[in-house]
């Protein structure tokens, strides 16, 4: 139906299941739960509940798309969320520092954790999957040490909690944070030169390096930004539940990666993007909320998220492989002759850098 995209109106191309399949699945989930348990699911409070409960997961998921965009993993993100919540709770309960300064210190601590990840992965040349898994274990141990393995509640109420519990039109402020972050990351990755270069590094790091792109700096920046946003998610989580659970951050890693990989199949196929990530989070939260209402059991949402992660990773990898194959497919006839002729006019390093940017945007 959509084989000749140039002949299809742009609105219909946008509505293609290949671009927004998660939206259609989300709609089907809503219909299914509405028919299954209308008395429980079809309430005016359901959309507000799903949005309010999606915010922390969405912020964490958007934090991991930056490392993923440059081709590395940050598996410490759950520990970063938990450690940030505990650090801010300790400062609120044991010092007289103003709320604004506590927030700044926590965000700085998050950036420092990202710098540790960058040193381990890029300085010590340890694979990001193993390196950030190891640092996550260390961060989790620090969380237990600071909290003495106890849930911390002292000093969290008042002005600090209002940053997460205040409402606008029935929605908590973190919904606004989620939307603002989504727009900011979308503009950064798609409209700014650094963001486009990040995509280029993720698709082909060696080609980007040969084109003069500082791959190490971009990956370090992505890891630091990931932990910084993760620290912000920890602050939002602390304000919402008004308690710092030393084990609370770990539960966000699987949903975050499920949403990031599922989001990469939406809107910008094969490319990690905040728009698709937020839609994926809302889909996951709708499924989890509906399963909890059904009374199947506390295990059901976790199984649902795991299945979605497996399916999303499979689809994303397939789309990237197809995209790469198309870019490198040999062509015959006039196009092949033009390609051979282009070899005689090889671009300079500056031109190659510009070409890498264009490839990242495609």
pLDDT at 186: 94
pLDDT at 79: 97
Contact residues for 339 (Cβ-Cβ < 8 A; gap 6+): 331
Q: Report the C-alpha gap between 285 and 256 in whole angstroms.
A: 11
Query: What tens digit of pLDDT does each residue of 73-84 get?
Result: 999 999 999 999
Q: Is the per-residue pLDDT at 4 higher than 70?
A: no
- pLDDT for residue 328 is more than 90: no
Q: What is the pLDDT of residue 189?
A: 94
Range 149-178 average pLDDT: 88
Beta strands of the chain (E only): which ranges?
Answer: 167-168, 171-172
Q: Is 359 or 275 the better-scoring residue by pLDDT?
A: 275
d(CA 97, CA 128): 36
What 8-state DSSP symbol labels residue 152?
B
Question: For 233-262, what is each residue's pLDDT tens digit?
Answer: 999 999 998 999 999 899 999 889 989 988
Residue 320's Cβ-count burial label (10 Å; 0-12, 13-18, 19+) is middle
Q: Which of 216, 290, 235 is nearest to 92 (CA)?
A: 235
- How far is the C-alpha of 256 from the C-alpha of 277, rounded, in Å? 9
| 15-37 confidence digits (pLDDT tens) | 666 677 778 888 888 998 999 98
Q: Quick one: pLDDT at residue 9?
A: 57
Domains of the chain: 15-21+46-328 (1.10.3470)
- Residue 171: the pLDDT is 86
How far is residue 55's CA from residue 159's CA, in Å, rounded to a whole number?
20
145-157 residue pLDDT tens: 999 999 998 888 8
Contact 13, 269 (CB under 8 A): no
Mean pLDDT of the chain: 84
Q: Quickly state the pLDDT bin for 316 (edges 50, 70, 90).
A: low
Cα–Cα distance list, 244 to 62, 160, 234, 273, 313 (Å): 22, 13, 9, 30, 31
> Tell me, what's the pLDDT at 270?
76
Computed from CA positions of residues 62, 66, 69, 73, in that sequence, does the dihedral angle turn out positive or negative? Answer: negative
Which range has highest mean pLDDT (107-111, 147-151, 296-300)?
A: 107-111
What percent helix, strand, coil does the chain show, rounded to 5? 75, 0, 20
């Amino acid at each position: 139906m959509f084989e000749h995209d140039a002949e299809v109106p742009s609105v219909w191309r946008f509505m293609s299941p290949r671009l927004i399949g998660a939206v259609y699945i989300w709609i089907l989930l809503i219909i299914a739960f509405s028919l299954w348990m209308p008395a429980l699911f079809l309430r005016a409070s359901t959309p507000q509940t799903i949005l309010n409960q999606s915010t922390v997961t969405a912020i964490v998921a958007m934090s991991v798309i930056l490392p993923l965009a440059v081709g590395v993993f940050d598996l410490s993100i759950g520990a970063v969320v938990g450690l940030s919540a505990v650090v801010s709770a300790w400062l609120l309960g044991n010092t007289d520092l103003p709320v604004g300064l506590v927030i700044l210190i926590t965000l700085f601590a998050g950036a420092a954790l990202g710098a540790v990840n960058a040193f381990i992965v890029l300085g010590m040349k340890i694979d990001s999957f193993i390196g950030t898994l190891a640092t996550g274990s260390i961060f989790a141990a620090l969380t237990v040490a600071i909290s003495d393995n106890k849930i911390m509640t002292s000093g969290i109420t008042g002005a600090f909690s209002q940053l997460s519990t205040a409402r606008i039109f029935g929605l908590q402020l973190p919904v606004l944070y989620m939307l603002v972050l989504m727009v900011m990351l979308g503009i950064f990755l798609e409209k700014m030169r650094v963001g486009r270069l990040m995509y280029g590094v993720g698709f082909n790091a060696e080609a980007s390096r040969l084109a003069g792109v500082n791959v190490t700096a971009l990956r370090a920046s992505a890891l630091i930004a990931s932990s910084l946003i993760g620290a912000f998610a920890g602050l939002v989580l602390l304000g919402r539940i008004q308690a710092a659970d030393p084990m609370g951050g770990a539960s966000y890693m699987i949903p975050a990666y499920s949403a990031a990989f599922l989001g990469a199949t939406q809107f910008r196929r094969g490319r990690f993007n905040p728009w698709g990530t937020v839609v994926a989070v809302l889909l996951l939260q709708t499924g989890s909320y509906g399963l909890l209402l059904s009374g199947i059991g506390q295990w059901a949402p976790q199984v649902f998220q795991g299945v979605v992660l497996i399916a999303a990773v499979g689809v994303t990898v397939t789309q990237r492989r197809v995209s790469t194959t198309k870019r490198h497919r040999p062509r015959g006839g006039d196009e092949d002759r033009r390609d051979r002729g282009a070899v005689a006019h090889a671009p300079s390093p500056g031109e190659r850098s510009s070409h890498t940017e264009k490839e990242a945007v495609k």
